[in-house]
Amino acid sequence: MSGVLIIAEHRRGELRPVTLELVSAAQAGRRAPSDTVAVALIAEAPEALVPSVAVAGVDEIITVQVAARDFEPDTFEAVTHALIQARKPSLVLVPHSIDAFGYAAALAAKNRYGFATDVFRFEYQQDQLLATRGGYGQKVNVEVDFPGKEMVLLAVRANTFKPPEAPASPAISSFAAPAVRARVRSREFIELAASDDVDMTAAEFILAIGRGIGEQGNVEQFRKLAETIGATLGCSRPIADAGWLPKSRQIGQSGKTATACKLYLAMGISGAIQHLAGMKHVSTIVAVNADAGASIFSIARYGIVADIFEIAEALTGHWEKNH
Amino acid sequence: MKILVAVKQVAALDEDFEIRADGRDVEADFLLRDLNEWDDYSLEEAMRIKEAATTPVEVVVVCIGPADADEALRKCLAKGADRAIRVWDQAIEGSDPIAIAQLIAAVARREAPEMLFAGVQSSDHAFAATGIATAALLDWPHAAVVTQLSYSPGASSAVFRRELEGGLLHEMQIDCPAVLTIQLGINTPRYASLRSIKQAAAKPIEVLSLAQLGVPDAAVGESGSLSRVRRMYVPQKGRAQMIEGSSEQRAARLAQIIEAFAGGAA
């Protein structure tokens, strides 16, 4: 067993960029430089995706033509299993993504591969694979190994490895998909209805509020503060789920990414990993939280441990006096 | 008709905590236990199906954990679950999500529900694996991160939407019985009334051993797991530069940071 197999992720005809991050992850974490890196394209028209994975670090692209146009868990599980049987890699990488949530654990449980999810670092030490993930709400790091496992499946955290940019011309081969009984079938994609005219991805200064605001009646104070200081008001998941702000203002994995943001003021946000996925890249993050142990302080440049209402009030007062 | 809801008693870290002497977990005294947030939503989804049904639906909750996990199960009973099952044995200690899935699958075989719900993930270790692994061991259809579900009890299929990155929704159809992992926001979980909390305290919780489930010791714990914790440690993290002082002083510093940004942006 040797080599790394990457299962590419695509959606609506386009490669998801996290796939290329896995190529860098494979480069960094493989057992030996002689270990080859193969990327499998499991799609209705896999050839169309070939150019997007023809990058440095990929030795081989394996196209697997399947009947399903969109992601279906049974298809990905069956094809990945067949590829592992045929290619016998020592390591298989998938993204820790919503699609992979749907099949990776099933594949590992059925075949008893070594398995860990949300891995952000891995390496071989004396031929033994060690993977690191977070624990207890990311407050600790957990190093795991896979005793006795010849094949390990890792779901790798997105936005952790920098994707390679240099184009290359890897070998291309095709693989015949096994028969699949699709017990879960794709119907359609539904875009989030625009309930608000705000574009969080374009906002340069965001004031984001989270669970710490306590109740709906408190949203108004922060809406006013945002207006006063010239910020766009955003939020973390619980606020959107509760309907206190529209979903279009949610920052994070299942919300928007603060792409253009340069200053991010997080108030009452503890810093769940799904929220950080949408904003941890911002160059200046200021976090205000009553809990000194909140994970947001580990990625923020500036931190204030205080009651968010007191700070909001003081900032509003200070700003009105001086501007 | 029966819905099985798998729940977890999760652990959060106390403000100050110590790593256990063997370096592989946090000392248990520093862990604060609660019902996993996601499981509140999957129980609520099961309750809504039960309440909308024209034929009787039984909602059974199952938790793998020691005696203190009864607290999580009582919370579910207080919110309306009909029955609660807890599975524990010393051999289960050290299990990863896949070993836990073996046990939930064994309970599902015994209970034979038409639908099984689990949370997308747990707030403590966030593997996002237990529910889908359970489905694989039962050889049932499965889908993850469900934020909308149309299902009539006993139907041969269900239609659901899963929530993708960026908020895009994907509508799919699934054959039943099935395992669905439920995402936050699919519904608004109810609060238990004081009266129902009192009543739940008196309800029985069925406790099952490995032997009663017919699961061998080797299928759980470290030998039944697909990964093993070697080491747990507090990472050297970038630490925010802390702004101290009175609220007014801190607000003034905050204003400076905002002005610096506004100056740069202009």
B204: domain CATH number is 3.40.50.620
Q: Which chain B residues are within 8 Å of A273, Cβ to Cβ?
A: 126
Picking from B130, B64, B68, B72, the residue whose alpha carbon sits closest to that of residue B91 is B64
Q: For residue B265, is pLDDT > 60?
A: no
- Write out the two tokens for A92: 């298989």
Cβ-contact B217, B96 below 8 angstroms: no
Please indicate whether, in this complex, the C-beta atoms of B168 and A189 are within 8 angstroms of each other.
Answer: yes
A118 CB near a chain B CB, below 8 Å?
Answer: yes
Q: In what helix (H) or strand (E) does residue A114 lie, and over which residues does it extend?
A: strand A114-119
pLDDT given for residue B188 in this prediction: 95
Residue B248 is assigned to a structural domain of this protein? no
Interface A:B, Cβ pairs < 8 A: 269
Cβ burial A40-71 (10 Å sphere, 16+ → b, else e): bbbbeebeebeebbebebbebbbbbbbebebb
A-chain residues near B143 (CB < 8 A): 73, 102, 184
The answer as to whether B129 is a domain residue is yes
The rounded percent of chain B whose pLDDT value lies above 70 is 99
pLDDT confidence of residue B266? 43
When pLDDT is averaged across residues B196-222 and rounded to a whole number, the result is: 97
Q: What is the pLDDT of residues A274-293, one digit of tens each?
A: 999 999 999 999 999 999 88
**A200-322: CATH class:** alpha beta
Take residue B197 and report the two structure tokens written for it. Answer: 């909390």
Please tell me the predicted confidence (pLDDT) of residue A195. 67
Angle of CA points B90, B95, B97, to nearest 5° = 140
Residue B102 lies in a domain: yes
Is any Cβ of chain A less than 8 angstroms from the Cβ of B230? yes
DSSP state of A261: -
The answer to whether residue B75 is domain-embedded is yes
pLDDT of residue A323: 84
| Residue B128 maps to a domain | yes
pLDDT of residue B261 exceeding 70, the answer is yes
Least confident of A1-5, A256-260, B215-219, B262-266: B262-266
How high is the pLDDT of residue A192?
Answer: 76
Reported in sequence order, the residue ranges of A191-315 that DSSP labels E, i.e. its strands, are 205-209, 232-235, 263-267, 284-289, 302-305
B144 and A102 within 8 Å at the Cβ level: the answer is yes
Instruction: For residue B100, give the 3-state DSSP assignment.
Output: helix
Q: How far is B70 from chain A (nearest CA, A)?
A: 21
Domain count, chain B: 1
In the predicted model, residues of chain A with pLDDT beneath 70 are 193-195
Tell me how crowded residue A25 is: count the other CB atoms within 10 A of its CB: 29
ipTM at complex level: 0.94
Any domain includes B244: no
Domain boundaries, chain A: 4-174, 200-322
- In CATH, what number does A4-174 get? 3.40.50.620
Structure tokens at A74: 């049974």
Q: Is residue B67 part of a domain?
A: yes
pTM here is 0.93
Q: Is residue B259 part of a domain?
A: no
pLDDT class of B15 with cuts at 50, 70, 90: confident
Provide the residue range defining the domain that includes B194. Answer: 2-219
